[in-house]
Amino acid sequence: MTAAEQTRSLPRASYPEEVGVSSQAVLDLINEFERQGMELHSLMVLRHGKVAAECWRHPYAAEIPHAIYSCSKSVAGTAAGFAIDEGLFSMESKLHELFPEIKRRRQRVRYEKITVRHLLNMTAGLTLNVLLPKAGRDDWVGDFLRSRVKHEPGKVFHYANEHAYLISVLIHRLTGQGLQEYLRPRLFAPLGIDPFFWETDAQDREGGGWGICWKTEDSAKFMQCYLDGGKWDGRQVIPAWWVREATSPQAQNPDNCKADSRVGYGYQFWMCREPNTFAARGMFCQQGVVMKDYDAVFVYTGADADEQKPFEVLYPHFPGGFVAQGDRPDPAVLAALREKIAGLTLPPPTASPQRPPLEKELSGETIRLRRQYFLNAVGLPSSLLSMVVNQLCYDKAGGIDDIRLRFGENEGSFSWTEGRQSRKENTLPFGLDGSFREGAFSLSGFDFNALSHARWLDDTTLRLHIRPKESCSSRIYIFHFLGGRRVRIEQRTTPPLESIAENLAALSRQFMNNNKIFHFFARKIFWLAPKLVEAPLRGRRKAK
């Protein structure tokens, strides 16, 4: 094992000013996230290769992996860089030569113009389903190849997961290895990134465009390596030519309504409006931002539907917050920053004002829910996982049923059954005394650790909040126990589905080629979607 492989953690500065970062600017940045109403889960600020500041908002922590969603594209793109450098294929390799099944497609002639380059810079010209990925179906490659070629390849930017997924499939076909296995000796081992979870399809091929769940520091190492031109600990890890090209504009995207989404796209990296700045970006504001002119990296995870918001939070404070390296910090400001970081936590739960007699009657009973025929038919069954997260899973969960609540002195438990391919029962403890309880559950092939608490709002209404720590979304169920043993359960999600739908509606115009009529109806659909997807669950209590 090389010295680089023995380096498990990034070096830390004693205080931000040691590496030219203002403690006041970092404090202001954290406060700005809160003022903007963004649920920040973690933040790492790096300069000159050292961690200047870092924080996690409890219950999130440094050792807990976190979903990074479309930041996975930048990792998958890196695999393409290695493969091209090793001669497995080239930028100009034709898609129809790499995927012979295209020869059977009606639009074969137009497919023949699509190259690997078009996959990497999102200009393949296909009409792809950008809003709901192909996850959950068994033939993702077939879904891609059934898409209509609408634009001349190389002409129109159209962001979609499938481009990166095809890279994953291609590397698997040519090497017999998944992306993790292929990248482990080339990227992960040199950077000291331990094995992590990456969502796969039925053939164990990584999603490419999404699916990574790893630690915040893993993202920081990855982005720092790109900032350093692909070098790590003095060794060239990622090919230098690839780093230069991947983080330079390779496609234009001027029609996007978001300011940092219309200044160019590289190879699975976004260009930013701050000069010489690029980013890896994932849903719900998982981002890694590199400011090359300032030798700085910002990595954050969080839960907000608007991916533009972190940039609006960042730019008022950086790059203006960079100072001369080695400046002495103001002791009071440094103390305030450290106090702020130590006290970061999500709002704590509150205890029930009183525990109703109904608890004893409910404890251990089964609540049998009505089937949701429409949502099941359209592939959006109710799940403990939020709708958006569930859509990104191959083995989609859903069809939640057979709920059982049990109550003890200070805590209780919530049991439920769900699953698309196989029904699975999980049980989570929840606090009733104004504190969380930690438990574990397994859905969609992934093991989650969750914090849960419950609170009686009145004698017949129970609010249950479940937060999987590896995800950025949490679920809230409000049980209304009605007469005749009937039960109505309100469903809510954080971030709220309404805010997610509003953001998607704003983005929809770009993906509909600015067609005002289609955009009008799209906005109506997005307005209606949360009401349908999170319609109340209804059921009955079965006698013990």
Instruction: List pLDDT tens digits, range 140-178.
Output: 777 777 777 788 899 999 888 889 999 999 999 999 999
Q: What phi and psi values does residue 387 have, to the nearest 5 degrees?
A: -55, -45
For residue range 422-466, what is the model confidence (pLDDT) as tens digits?
788 999 999 999 999 999 999 887 889 999 999 999 999 999 999
Q: 380, 404, 359, 411: which is closest to 497 by C-alpha?
A: 380
pTM of the model: 0.90
The pLDDT assigned to 377 comes to: 65
Look up the domain containing 526 and give its range.
358-542
DSSP-assigned states of every residue in 80-130: HHHHHHTTS--TT-BHHHH-GGGGGSTTHHHHTT-BHHHHHTT-S-B---S
Mean pLDDT of the region 14-33? 98
Decide if 430 is inside a domain: yes
DSSP summary character for residue 259: G
138 pLDDT higher than 90: no
3-state class (DSSP) for residue 467: strand
Decide if 420 is inside a domain: yes
Mean pLDDT of the region 201-216? 91
Q: How many CA atoms lie within 13 A of 353 on its CB side?
A: 4
The pLDDT assigned to 105 comes to: 54
Decide if 7 is inside a domain: no
475 pLDDT higher than 50: yes
Strand order across the 197-198 sheet: 66-69, 212-214, 197-198
| Angle between helices 72-85 and 161-175 in degrees, nearest 10 | 40
For residue range 98-132, what is the model confidence (pLDDT) as tens digits?
988 776 555 566 678 899 999 999 999 887 654 44
Positive or negative, the CA dihedral 325, 312, 476, 218 is negative
15 pLDDT higher than 90: yes
Give the confidence band of 394 by pLDDT, cuts at 50, 70, 90: low
Mean pLDDT of the region 22-46? 96
Q: 456, 489, 453, 458: which is closest to 474 by C-alpha?
A: 453
Percent of the chain, pLDDT > 90? 68
CA dist 35 and 306 (Å) reads 15
Give the confidence band of 134 by pLDDT, cuts at 50, 70, 90: very low
For residue range 64-89, what is the model confidence (pLDDT) as tens digits?
999 999 999 999 999 999 999 999 99
Give the confidence band of 43 by pLDDT, cuts at 50, 70, 90: very high
Decide if 470 is inside a domain: yes
Decide if 487 is inside a domain: yes
**Backbone dihedral region of 379: left (phi > 0), alpha (psi from -120 to 50 degrees) or beta?**
left
The pLDDT assigned to 498 comes to: 67
If one counts the domains in the chain, the total is: 1
3 pLDDT higher than 60: no
CA dist 163 and 161 (Å) reads 6
Q: What b/e string do you get for 367-397 counting C-beta neighbours within 10 Å, with b at 16 or more? A: bebeebeebeeeebbbbbbbbbbbbbbbbbb
379 pLDDT higher than 80: no
CA angle at 323 for the pair 318 and 324, rounded to the nearest 5°: 150
CA 286: distance to chain centroid?
Answer: 6
Decide if 277 is inside a domain: no
Contact 131, 504 (CB under 8 A): yes
2 pLDDT higher than 50: no
Decide if 534 is inside a domain: yes
Decide if 425 is inside a domain: yes
User: Tokens at residue 219, please?
Assistant: 């993202």
Terminal CA-CA length for the chain: 60
For residue range 477-529, what is the model confidence (pLDDT) as tens digits?
999 999 999 999 999 988 876 666 566 555 555 555 545 555 455 555 555 56
Q: CATH number of the domain that 525 lies in?
A: 2.40.128
Give the length of the chain: 544
The pLDDT assigned to 517 comes to: 52
Q: Which residues are within 8 A (CB) of 13 and not within 5 positions of it... i.e. 6 or more apart?
A: 19, 21, 47, 50, 51, 52
DSSP summary character for residue 137: S
